[in-house]
Chain A
């Protein structure tokens, strides 16, 4: 680690607790040139919001980076590249407009009110299972599986595929950060296996016009094999990104109830606060901490000149705790904030799944509040990415039980 740098974008400290680093950076150099990252790093809400809304700052397509890596390193990363090509938020210009229409059309074809009972049924069944246990892992046994099953329903994948796909796609979003070749090799091999699971489902789903997979296939570009490949990548993208970000939300909600018992009391006393608590956890612990842009025209931002061709790293997680925009920025406010946050991004790339995520958050929170009170029973563990923030482990035990009872349960 470079001790002389104000911001080390690769630091391990950013995994579990990035907020002190963000705070220092925002206070000392809010429009910061990072030499090791070869990019501007932005931390103020107003600057980040302005760039999200500015079409002269284009998204960076990671599929091109991985293609280049494959070519230079003599590797075949076709499955991973296909997956990354389907990532809507890496797209720009006309291609983005077309793909966004495709994704929005797919997600909006079923009214959210029709998905609500499905989420409720899944959440209730999972919570009921936890209620009978002395100890469990709040992420592995609830926050992680719930949105993966919800998204499988949305996409049209059978529930029986969910555990295997969760494993195969567990670290694909690590490719949003920089990785060693051995990691690209490993992740690419797993993505290939995920394609092998999903492609036959699409082929079968085409027969049933009701299936989500049918609609994904119909809207995919190309013909024959390439159309099937694009549809497979899109199905995996929608499933994975929708589920992983909501896993982050549900994990942070559970953790917040654990470390702030007053929040639990407030929500039980006034259930109308629940949507607000969901919003605040999205702001405080957003699953997407970073978004990259490349500047296409020379711009002034916060008194600094960003030249055309330079890259800009937007630290969404820092912007969302900017004290200039949010009073007591590190606290959960129980009345609406005046300022909009950037938890779901902004501008033309604003998250298409925002309403679904909020709904899942609210329903999951209701179920969490019905569970017997728990205390932490081991170390919380975060996903090893710097772009995606989510808990991967949160062991808990029911208050009043001991470790030995848990083992015996």
Chain B
């Protein structure tokens, strides 16, 4: 699989955002359009094993390593995106 990340391991905000929305929709069994990036992930019905799976898939897709607690510490997709900007994954 071709990684959507750049060779230096960074990715654009749109790439990462689209990935999160797609994988969250996939694991929750809902339409991507129903994933509100400002909504609390708990309210979307995401549990702790879901978060490990989603972070694992995103790691594989981007070819980088992320902390599994990323989706537990940050409660909305918008917050996750912000955190990934701070650690230099999203440039």
Contact = CB atoms under 8 A, between A and B. Distances in A.
Contacts of B56: 73, 180-182
Interface stretch (A64-72, A113-121, A145-153, A197-205): A64-72
Contact of A36 (B50, B55, B59, B72): B72
Nearest to B75: A35
Interface of B is mostly: helix
Interface stretch (B2-10, B30-38, B63-71): B63-71
A178 interface: yes
B67 A10 contact: yes
Given A10-B67, A180-B66, A1 B53 contact: no
Contact of A180 (B27, B52, B74): B52
A73 B20 CA distance: 16
Nearest to B27: A72
Interface residues of A, number: 20
A331 B48 CA distance: 38
Interface of A is mostly: loop
B73 A178 contact: no
Contacts of B66: 180
Contacts of B67: 10, 180
A300 interface: no
Nearest to A34: B72
A180 B67 CA distance: 7
Given A178-B68, A180-B68, A8 B52 contact: no
B42 interface: yes
Contacts of A350: none
A1 B50 contact: no
Contacts of A183: 68
Interface in B51-91: 52-53, 55-56, 59, 65-69, 72-75
Contacts of A272: none
B72 A180 contact: no
B52 to A, nearest CB: 6
B43 to A, nearest CB: 12
Interface residues of B, number: 19
Given A180-B66, A180-B67, A182-B56, A65 B73 contact: no
B76 to A, nearest CB: 12
Contact of B52 (A1, A38, A181): A181
Contact of B73 (A8, A68, A69, A179): A8
Contact of A10 (B50, B55, B72): B72
A36 B41 CA distance: 11
A178 B48 contact: yes
Contacts of B27: 72
Contact of B69 (A68, A73, A178): A178
Given A180-B56, A181-B56, A38 B48 contact: yes
Nearest to B50: A72
Contacts of A65: 48-49
Nearest to B74: A2
A69 B53 contact: yes
B20 to A, nearest CB: 16
Contacts of B65: 180, 182
A10 to B, nearest CB: 4
A36 B46 CA distance: 13
A77 to B, nearest CB: 12
A35 B48 CA distance: 12
Nearest to A10: B69
Contacts of A181: 52-53, 55-56, 59, 68
Nearest to B40: A35
Nearest to A184: B52
B52 A179 contact: yes
Nearest to A73: B53
Contacts of B48: 38, 65, 178
Contacts of A37: 72
A270 B42 CA distance: 57
A180 B75 contact: no
B26 to A, nearest CB: 11
Interface in A49-83: 65, 68-69, 72-73
Interface in A176-217: 178-184
13 contacts: A2-B73, A38-B48, A65-B48, A69-B52, A72-B27, A72-B50, A72-B53, A73-B53, A179-B52, A179-B68, A180-B56, A180-B65, A181-B52
Interface of B: 27, 42, 48-50, 52-53, 55-56, 59, 65-69, 72-75
Given A10-B72, A37-B72, 8 more contacts: A10-B67, A69-B49, A73-B53, A73-B56, A181-B53, A181-B56, A181-B68, A182-B65
